[in-house]
A and B are shown apart, each in its own frame.
Chain A
Amino acid sequence: MIRYIIRRLLWGVVLLIVVAALMFILFRVLPTGNPALLRAGRDPQPKLVKEIEVVLGLSKPLTVQFWDYMKEIFFHFNFGYSYYSQESVKSLIAERLPATLSLTFGAAVLWVVGGLSVGIVSALRRHSLLDRTLMGGALLAISVPEFWLGLVFLFLFSSDIGKFKIFPGAGSYVPLTTDPWKWFTSLIMPWIVLAAGSAAFFARLMRSSLSETMEEDYIRTARAKGLPERQVVRQGVRSAINPMITLFGLEVGVLLGGAILVEAVFNIPGIGELFYKSIQTSDFPVTQGTVLLGSMFIILANIVVDVAYAYLDPRVRYS
């Protein structure tokens, strides 16, 4: 087991290195134009541009630049400095992490609870009107783009500009430590919007998985043995839930890299919004840093999920 974990971790690190190298190619080599100028922030004075050229070591051969870049990231955890705000990318990301974490975990709770319950109910009442309505709703939910859904929510329910002034509007996010109630209410709409698609997906998957499981022999046996239906269902759910775990883990991993669309629409100062701003201002150190961070979360989530799977199913360890 330990060996499996180590193998997975090692591979994770290799992946990260490859991704970092890719970032270098994409953001340093590919763009046409003077990289120093592109990084010179809001006010590219000739002097500043020269300074940046030195810092970036642009006169050195590409391979040397690459090695320096990799060294900075992996040995010093230095992702560079935002040329827009002069802050270090690391500290910018650290500032914004709590907001993204708030958003992701709240949404995760919603979609797991929502998705599972809808999925279970649907599976147990297959082909009923309830089932069809729920699944129809789920289908709709995965067809709606989140940014549009967010705008529609704001249009209808935002307390400053909406038709029915219920929830705080865009930009009202405050950290948990500042004002817990305001933090909570400002995240309700974003949570719903973010969770909607994933909940629907989970519901559909749960329904399909549970329906299959409920047809299995051992379930029939359990019923024949006289177990109460609730317990039978619980058994079914326990095994049907396996594929969900992987997907849940992966989903969280992706979202931790920043749910850009929801953060942009609701003006939540998280990593996704940071990334979005960096795109707009050609602030490449920040762009690179956030993509790397996002990759790290995905890789980590993959490892966690794989290890969990290996723990539950020993056969996997030997693949």
Chain B
Amino acid sequence: MRSTPTILATAAAALAALALAACGSSESGSSTATGSASVLSTAGYQSPATESLSGKRGGTLVVLQESDFEHLDPGITYAALDYPVVFATQRPLYSNKPNSTEPTPDMAASAPEVSADNKTVTVHLKEGIHFSPPVNREVTSEDVAYAIERGLNPNVANPYIKTYFNSLEGIEQGNGGPIKGIETPNKHEIVFHLDESKGSFVAEALVLPLTAAVPKEYAEKFDKNKPSNYASYEVATGPYMLKNNAEGKVLGIGYVPGKSATLVRNPNWNPATDFRPAYLNEIAIKLGGSEPVIDRQVLEGTNIVQNEPVPQSGVRLAAEHYKDQMDISPGGGNRYIAVDNKVGPFANIDLRKALWAATDRDALDRARGGELVGTVATHFIYPTIAGFEQAGGAKGLKVDYNEHPEGDMAVAEKYIKLAGYPSGKYTGSKPIQVVGASSPPEKEDSEIVNQTLKNMGFNTKLTLVEISTMYAKYCGVPKEEIDVCPNVGWIADFADPQTVLNVTFNGKSIEPTGNVNYGQTDDPKINAAMTAGETVVGRQARATAWAKIDDELVEQAAAIPFDWEKTPRLEGKDVHGVAMIWNEGAWDYSFTSLK
């Protein structure tokens, strides 16, 4: 996912990633032991790592949310903002506990079985899980199959199915009907047959909401509409459901666009089949308003939370007066300066290294809000994602241009000279295009980078535009030949490091529009390593393989990372909020309770 919380990359090649860090069980232990605690938690504040998961039953939670939802249909949803509602009502095959990036069987009964040739993935389903009213019946493997197959229905058009499931047999012919590679030998077993050895990776992708069961006989009439309006009638398998009427209608009742959404308990939910405690009786979401005002209302109120990025004013207010009401969660994604690797001065590796050396990453992070909201980045895989430690942890690869986060003009000059400018300053005459976002703190970051480029001798043309325009019209369009995009970032879809690096730095991922390989990195050696990395089996092995690729990217200075985001969230004084470490620290409604 691009690192703006409500924006989703919906291009087929784009990955909207949720930060699911699939650290191996031994890794999470080792990361704290090796002193990377500061990247996983912030002193003085609650974080998913430190919160208790127990709570009191009962009560109604009010959620104030400025932006409306993008999609609540489990087959389409792809935004960090939508996930709290989706994951409280829908159960994919595998899920994450709020404080873990390691998948837990959800609809599945046990861990996925990957065949020896890495081409078959078998999942056994739990028994006794039922759909909410009005469907009521038990969930079967065919419902899971239908959920995935409808992703190819043009009326549903799931944004990531081709990215993660493109190795499924028969997926090219899929258009909403049965897919050859999905087999349901019995009611509680589903088998995925792949034509490439990517089983281990596909198994990890089963945490995506696309795998949440959808009842075919009920949903197909909605899926016939252009676009599908299943979301307006959707049923739930989770502890909560969107309020509906007897016919199953959610629109206007459980979800009033622009106004509200209401989650009530799912009467057919069986707690024995679920790891979720579901303390709250009801979650009442109010849409609209402005974030600074919302922040104040939440901090001063009771049984109320907000669930979106907190602007600086809110962070300051909480830090100064309401310290125990702010949670700070790591794993909010990375941010980096993308530079055009194909065309222009930055096609030269030495100039890229020079920019890396010259950039004052401390200043960039300071402008974003300081230590509470980020740590200085030294490579691309960020904390909570497997491979973080193997790629160098907090310090990163030891190269001279990475040594000084406060910027080092001497090293920069060395590389500028190596690039062929003996004076130590760039002397080319053609101005370079820098396009950034106009809203703070991206604006400040753009200006800092602009000044750095000027200090290096570049003649720059800085333009600031609205952020989605920046992605859609400029930085995501290779033909625009923007030399520097200082405000890009990425959040993983789930905690496998491939989801952080593949689509963003693989030469094969470059698209004419909606491109997320912003710098058009296309190094044959790295491309080959990534292709090989897709088929590696086992979490540990994959972490090691992709960490090596991360190192390669640093050695190539493909882009300049500067921030690993931490996300604050605010809660009322009587709310025991539990944050999802794997989803930008958003509140997990199934674990949150009132004190």
The answer to whether A binds B is yes
Chain A interface residues toward B at CB < 8 A: 33, 37-38, 40-46, 49, 160-161, 169-171, 267, 280-282
What residue in chain B is nearest A160 (Cβ atoms)?
Answer: B293
Which one of A37, A169, A267 has the greatest number of beta carbons of chain B within 10 Å? A37
Chain B's interface: helix, strand, loop or mixed, by majority? loop
Residue of B296, B469, B480 near A282 (CB, 8 A) is: B469
Are B290 and A41 interface neighbours, CB within 8 A? no
Rounded to whole Å, the gap between the CB of A236 and the closest CB of chain B is 49
CA distance A46 to B512 in the complex (A): 7
Q: Is B514 an interface residue (CB 8 A)?
A: yes
- Which chain B residues lie closer than 8 Å to A161 at the CB level? 292
Residue contact B469 to A45, C-beta cutoff 8 Å: no
Instruction: Say yes or no: B290 contacts A267, CB within 8 Å.
Output: yes
Task: Decide if A46 touches B513 in the complex (CB within 8 Å).
Answer: yes
Q: Are A42 and B477 in contact (CB under 8 A)?
A: no
A161, chain B: closest CB distance, angstroms: 7
Contacts of A37 in B (CB 8 A): 473, 477, 513
Q: Complex Cα distance A46/B466, Å?
A: 21
Residues 475 to 523 of chain B near chain A (Cβ within 8 Å): 476-477, 480, 511-514
Apart from A43-B472, A45-B11, A281-B466, list 4 A-B contacts with CB within 8 A.
A44-B513, A46-B511, A46-B513, A169-B293
The answer to whether B290 and A171 touch across the interface, beta carbons within 8 angstroms, is: yes
Q: How far is the CB of B315 from the nearest CB of chain A, in Å?
A: 16
Per the bound structure, the CA–CA distance linking A45 and B511 in Å amounts to: 9
Q: CA A145 – CA B512 in complex, angstroms?
A: 44
Chain B interface residue count, Cβ-Cβ cutoff 8 angstroms: 22
Q: Which of A45, A170, A280 touches B466 (beta carbons < 8 Å)?
A: A280
In the assembly, what is the distance between CA of A38 and CA of B513, in Å? 11
Closest to B11 in A: A45
Binding site for A on B (CB under 8 A): 7, 10-11, 289-290, 292-293, 296, 438, 465-466, 468-469, 472-473, 476-477, 480, 511-514
Contacts of B290 in A (CB 8 A): 170-171, 267
Which residues from B are CB-within-8-Å of A46?
511-514
A45 B293 Cβ-Cβ under 8 A? no
Assembly CA distance A41 to B473 (angstroms)? 9
CB distance from B515 to the nearest CB of A (A): 10
Whether A43 touches B11, Cβ cut-off 8 Å, given contacts A160-B293, A160-B296, A170-B290, is yes
B476 neighbours in A (Cβ, 8 Å): 44
Contacts of A267 in B (CB 8 A): 290
Is A44 touching B472 in the complex (CB atoms < 8 A)?
Answer: yes
Contact of A45 among B289, B480, B513 (CB under 8 A): B513
- A44 to B480 CA separation, bound complex (whole angstroms): 13
- B514: contacting residue among A38, A45, A160, A280, CB under 8 A: A45
Expressed in whole angstroms, the minimum distance between the Cβ of A81 and any Cβ of chain B is 16
- Give the secondary structure class of A's interface: loop
In the complex formed, the residue of B with least CB distance to A41 is: B472
Candidates A38, A160, A169, A171; contact of B473 at CB < 8 Å = A38
- A282 and B480 alpha carbons, distance in the complex (Å): 15
A residues near B466, Cβ cutoff 8 Å: 280-281
Residues of the A chain whose Cβ atoms lie less than 8 Å from the Cβ of B477: 37, 44
A185 CB to nearest B CB, Å = 16
- Can you identify 29 A-B contacts, CB atoms within 8 angstroms? A33-B480, A37-B473, A37-B477, A38-B473, A40-B472, A40-B513, A41-B472, A42-B468, A42-B472, A43-B10, A43-B514, A44-B472, A44-B476, A45-B10, A45-B513, A45-B514, A46-B511, A46-B512, A161-B292, A171-B290, A171-B293, A280-B465, A280-B466, A280-B469, A281-B466, A281-B469, A282-B465, A282-B469, A282-B473
Q: Which residues of A contact B10 (CB under 8 A)?
A: 43, 45
Nearest residue (CB) in B for A42 is B468
What separation, in Å, do the CA atoms of A46 and B468 have in the docked complex? Answer: 17
Measured CA separation A267–B291 after assembly (Å): 13
The CB with the most chain A CB atoms within 10 A, among B296, B473, B514, is that of B473
Q: Which residue of B lies closest to A44 (CB)?
A: B513
User: Which residues does chain A contribute within 8 Å of B512, judged by CB atoms?
Assistant: 46
Q: Which 9 A-B pairs have the closest CB atoms?
A: A280-B466, A44-B513, A171-B290, A42-B468, A281-B469, A281-B466, A160-B293, A44-B472, A42-B472
Tell me the complex Cα distance, A45–B514, Å.
6
Which among A38, A41, A44, A280 has the highest number of chain B CB atoms within 10 Å? A44
- Decide: A171 and B289 in contact? CB cutoff 8 A: yes
Shortest distance from the beta carbon of B365 to any chain A beta carbon, whole Å: 26
Q: Which residues of A contact B473 (CB under 8 A)?
A: 37-38, 44, 282
| B512 to A, closest residue via Cβ | A46
A123 to B: closest C-beta gap in Å: 44
Q: How far does the Cβ of A96 sit from chain B's closest Cβ, in whole Å?
A: 15
A136–chain B nearest beta-carbon distance, Å: 36
CA distance A171 to B292 in the complex (A): 11
Distance of A281 Cα from B289 Cα, bound (Å) = 21
Return the chain B residue nearest A83 by Cβ: B472
Once A169-B293, A171-B289, A267-B290 are accepted as A-B contacts, the answer to whether A44 and B469 lie under 8 Å apart by CB is no
